[in-house]
Amino acid sequence: MKRSLKTTCLIAVIAVTAAACSSNSRLAEASKPLVATTVSPITNLAANVVCGQADVIGLVPEGVNSHTFAPAPSDAITLADADVVVVNGLNLELPTIELAQANSGDDVQIVSLAEQTMTPDEYIFDFSFPKDLGDPNPHLWTNPLYALRYAELIKDTMIALDPDGAAGYDANFAAVKSRIETLDSAVREATATIPRDQRRLLTYHDSFPYFAREYDWTVIGAIQPSDFAQPTARDIADLIDQIEEEEVPAIFGSEVFSSPVLEQIAAETGARYVDELRDDDLPGEPGDPEHSYFGLMVFDFTTMVEALGGDASALGSVPTENLCDLATYG
């Protein structure tokens, strides 16, 4: 993916601003490491792994399209001061990575999680992320087992950065691991209540292919094309034909991005339209029990299972609260 001239200029301007504003190095003054992250599921996983032993600042606001997010001048300052920058990878956050490099040079520690979680032959290319454009689908966190690997990588990074805190990071990761293993078991139990030929997803944004591959679901389509424009009339007609032919009972929109196209498809096919899925927008508000990575996954999987006629009660037993007080979680 090539960076546009506009993005290049933005990064240059922000880098100069950050250099001027960050004359006093945080690294020499801070009592805790500073971890800069991107999308909220990763930010929340990091916050649960460090549990107050480090400060965690997420750069991508919830409800913002992470694929098109452009960092602000204040983000440049955060990146310049960060001890480590944790990103999803697979080209999801190129402007943020380039801004970090522009402010800190080759010395910046950038941990790209997806590339360390699976091999290139496991990447998924599909209708929204076609192989000829070069970028695989980046939404690994919707597979809880990949999220577990993300948490492990964050734990290892923090121990290398802060060896004195190793015991705490290990204990926190063990708690995250136990919670995700509980979530994984509940997803499998709930999935089993839906006949295999009914585990089909048509969503607004193409966020669930790694979930689908892990739990034996099928993603039949996504409304938002790879260039994030509106789908063509031909695209819509093809999806309507597919839904009618396969008798898909429900289609799923986004809680953040409304989709008149999905409403039109639902009206023409008779499928139920559920416009509540969340890609990376945590449920509730900060401080609420469900405002966590765990809450996000329980909400989405419960919504999908129930809409397709399954029994999601197993998911109701998965705790969603954060594993510690996230007072240093920004």
CATH number at residue 46: 3.40.50.1980
122 & 262 share domain: no
Q: Are residues 175 and 197 in the same domain?
A: no
DSSP string, 262-314: HHHHHHHH-PEEEEEE-SS--SS-TTSTT-SHHHHHHHHHHHHHHHTT---GG
Whether residue 248 contacts residue 266, with contact meaning beta carbons closer than 8 Å, is answered with no
56 and 30 within one domain:
yes
Quote the number of domains for the chain: 2
Domain that includes residue 261, residue range: 193-317
Q: What pLDDT is recorded for position 259?
A: 74
Shared-domain flag, residues 171 and 240 = no
Please give the pLDDT value at position 5: 38
Q: In what order do the strands lie in the sheet with 218-222?
A: 218-222, 200-203, 250-254, 272-277
187 within a domain of the structure (yes/no): no
Confidence of residue 227 (pLDDT cuts 50, 70, 90): low
- One domain for residues 250 and 159: no
Of 179, 113, 177, the closest CA to residue 140 belongs to: 113
**84: which DSSP letter?**
E
How far is the C-alpha of 222 from the C-alpha of 127, rounded, in Å?
7
Domain-located, residue 143: yes
Say if residue 325's pLDDT is above 60. yes
Mean pLDDT across 300-311: 97
Residue 307 domain flag: yes
Same domain, yes or no: 12 and 86 = yes
pTM of the model as a whole: 0.87
Flag whether 273 is in a domain. yes
User: Has residue 325 been placed in a domain?
Assistant: no
Instruction: Answer whether residue 188 is part of any domain.
Output: no
Let me know if residue 15 belongs to a domain: yes
Lowest mean pLDDT: which of 247-261, 263-277, 289-303, 310-324? 247-261
Nearest C-alpha neighbor of 302 from the set 316, 289, 290: 316
Does residue 123 sit in the same domain as residue 205?
no
Backbone angles phi, psi at 296, to 5 degrees: -60, -45
In this predicted structure, the answer to whether residue 4 has a pLDDT above a threshold of 60 is no
Q: How confident is the model at residue 12 (pLDDT cuts 50, 70, 90)?
A: very low
Of 136, 153, 182, which residue constitutes the final position of a domain? 182
Q: What is the mean pLDDT of residues 96-117?
A: 87
Query: Which residues fall within 8 angstroms of residue 238, CB to CB, at 6 or more apart?
Result: none
**Who wins on pLDDT, 330 or 60?**
60
Of the listed ranges 21-35, 45-59, 142-156, the one predicted with least confidence: 21-35
What's the mean pLDDT in 316-323? 96
Same domain, 159 and 236: no
Same domain, 15 and 69: yes
Q: How confident is the model at residue 3 (pLDDT cuts 50, 70, 90)?
A: very low
The better pLDDT of the pair 215, 232 is held by 215
Asked whether residue 176 is assigned to any structural domain, the reply reads: yes
Pair (82, 214) in one structural domain: no
* 216 and 124 in a common domain: no
Which of 162, 182, 202 corresponds to the end of one domain?
Answer: 182
Final residue belonging to a domain, choices 116, 151, 182: 182
Tell me: do 67 and 172 sit in the same domain: yes
Separation CA 152–CA 263 (nearest Å): 40
